[in-house]
Amino acid sequence: MTDDYGKYKEYANDVIAGKVVACEYVKMACKRYLDFFDRDDIDFIPTKADKVVKFIGKLKHFTGSHNGKPFTLQPWQKFIVYSLYGFYHKDGSRMVRNAYIEVARKNGKTALVAALCLYHLIYDGEANAQVILSATSAKQAKICFDMCSNFLKPLDPKSKYFKRYRDSIKFDATTSSLHVVAADASRLDGYNASMFVCDELHEFKDGSVFNVLQSSQGMRDNPLAVCITTAGFNRSSFCYSMRSSMVELLHGKKQDDSQFAIIFTLDKDDDHDDETNWCKSSPNLGVTVKKEYLRQQAQQAKNNPTLLTSYLTKLQNIWLSSSEEWIAADYIFKAQQQWQVTDFDEPFAYLGVDLGSTSDLTCVSVMIPHDDQYHFRNYYFLPSEQLSVNPNRELYRLWQQQGHLIVTPGNVTDYDSILTEILKLNEQVQIVQVSYDQWNATQFAINATEQGINLLPYSMSIGSLNRPTKELARLLLSGKVEIYTNPIDNFCFENVVIKRDFNDNERPTKETYNSKIDGVLAMVMALGGYLTTDHYDNTVMGLNFG
């Protein structure tokens, strides 16, 4: 490929060069985008990207000071369009099939997606196109639908080409249609979506609607699924799980050319009162987002602290809960590596076993200290019944499909399966000690001891957990931890709330039953066992016999 793609690379280059102020996630998205141009197995086709931009430019705004003006895409919006519609495989198929777009309110994301819906309805070249708009409420879905309808009015004032109904639009020229649907997966059978939108994904109770709509695209040549959202409050949600996966993609931890992701937000250490940072979460600042409006909202949040969380979440696009974040997600992502036990010579291992509830998630954490680094790998177990009844079942099914979750038969934790996994590990490493929570673990302890495993009960009191909790945080922040990549670990770290007593002792806990932290607790116990055990090497009285 040649390098004659100036205007298509301009926004990405400006972000990388610092000419456009952007957060780290946007910088990563831009670098990933630029890397695609260097690939020999895909092509960027300018005419395809321009076709979408020109179509959107024919639409006219219909509200406020922009009423009657052409829909002129801003540089960040063009970047999204170029990313979605510019890259093609050698067989002529479009590269991107899924898009995740997260940005603060008032930045015109719904208007952009409405324009893309109309493009797919009219101009994408798909006969019998079927565009689906979904949201958790009819009111939310109608916002995007009404935008589509209003954009069409100047193009077809007499309804000669488009038939507009209460919840659908028909385009008879290509036998195509656009529909609003309820966020109820049981009512979505029979669709054959060429393009679908999940609007405000953070409000979706689970991934069932997304999964059903995506499965309906199997017969389409160039399908597209678009998820748009602002930040939310539920880090146990399907949306946040998808977001975590997108962050891994941007970090380069995952590879999936068919997925586009961009997240506009403040960076972790940014001062949200510093107005120079506001464009990171509001790329349309000065266009659809007025700086004076943000100033007013920021001042109201200062005057009334109860408004601060909402302000930061919706207008600065920061995912928050009612608790303080323990360890920033970036540190966890940076720590994740694909290491193997065979990377070490005669490794010694310390295990932590959080048996948790008898009917939910259980974790075995393996910790191998080596050369001033601490290598963790977590194994997760779940009774099969929980795949259908647990509130986290959508996540559990996904993790099982991805190979990250070991599902055992029955409706209670299968301690024999856990012991079997530990015995397999004992053939590969020398297990020095297994730290475990005694609660509900009597039979497990008896069976493991009979097999020659050195078990040590580990107290779940704040006094016992304080030292390894603080030490794990210190090691992660100093880059001395490697964690074998597993999205369940991300989920557990995100759910941690630190409990402190009057003596500043700490232990991990959680806000709700469904906010699982089993992986973190198991890691803390494994590290705690190591910290309370004497360690020896080959040096005796100053003489090295290694």
Hey, is 155 helix, strand or coil? coil
Hey, is 6 helix, strand or coil? helix
At residue 88, does pLDDT exceed 90?
Answer: yes
Sequence-distant (≥ 6) Cβ neighbours of residue 3 within 8 angstroms:
37
29/96 Cα distance (integer angstroms): 14
At residue 502, does pLDDT exceed 90?
Answer: no
CA-to-CA separations, 402 to 261, 387, 398, 417, 471, in angstroms, rounded = 20, 14, 6, 19, 31
Sequence-distant (≥ 6) Cβ neighbours of residue 482 within 8 angstroms:
335, 336, 337, 339, 373, 374, 375, 376
62/168 Cα distance (integer angstroms): 20
Does pTM surpass 0.85? no
Q: Give the mean model confidence (pLDDT) for residues 503-509.
A: 88
| Per-domain boundaries in the chain | 6-263, 329-531
- Residues found in the chain: 546
At residue 328, does pLDDT exceed 90?
Answer: no
Residue 369, beta-bridge partner list: 374
Q: Give the mean model confidence (pLDDT) for residues 475-501.
A: 91
CA-to-CA separations, 209 to 96, 140, 196, 198, 238, in angstroms, rounded = 20, 15, 11, 9, 11
For the stretch 285-304, pLDDT in tens is: 999 999 999 999 999 988 87
Is residue 358 within 8 Å of residue 412, measured between CB atoms? yes
Q: Give the mean model confidence (pLDDT) for residues 460-489.
A: 93
Report residue 353's pLDDT band, with 50, 70 and 90 as the boundaries. Answer: very high
Q: Give the mean model confidence (pLDDT) for residues 455-462.
A: 90
Position 104 scores a pLDDT of: 97
Burial 5-24 (b: 16+ CB within 10 A, else e): beebbbbbebbbeeebebbb
User: If you search the block for the tokens 């999940």, which residue do you land on?
Assistant: 198
Sequence-distant (≥ 6) Cβ neighbours of residue 89 within 8 angstroms:
41, 42, 95
CATH, range 329-531: 3.30.420.240
Q: Give the mean model confidence (pLDDT) for residues 149-156.
A: 93
**pLDDT > 90: what percent of the chain?**
64
**φ/ψ (deg, to 5) at 55:** -60, -50
Q: Which of 26, 109, 151, 62 is nearest to 289 (CA)?
A: 109
Q: End-to-end distance of the chain based on CA atoms, in angstroms? A: 55
For the stretch 178-231, pLDDT in tens is: 999 877 766 777 789 999 999 999 999 889 899 999 999 989 999 999 999 999
Is residue 177 within 8 Å of residue 171, measured between CB atoms? yes
Position 538 scores a pLDDT of: 41
510/498 Cα distance (integer angstroms): 8
E strand residue ranges, 264-410: 336-337, 348-354, 362-370, 373-383, 405-408
Report residue 514's pLDDT band, with 50, 70 and 90 as the boundaries. Answer: confident
Burial 40-62 (b: 16+ CB within 10 A, else e): eebbbeeeebbbbbebbeebbbb
Question: Is the CATH code 3.40.50.1360 the one for domain 6-263?
Answer: no
At residue 545, does pLDDT exceed 60?
Answer: no
Hey, is 42 helix, strand or coil? strand
At residue 131, does pLDDT exceed 80?
Answer: yes
For the stretch 263-276, pLDDT in tens is: 999 998 899 999 99
CA-to-CA separations, 309 to 137, 197, 314, 317, 322, in angstroms, rounded = 23, 27, 8, 10, 8
121/130 Cα distance (integer angstroms): 7
Lowest mean pLDDT of 12-21, 121-130, 499-508, name the range.
Answer: 499-508
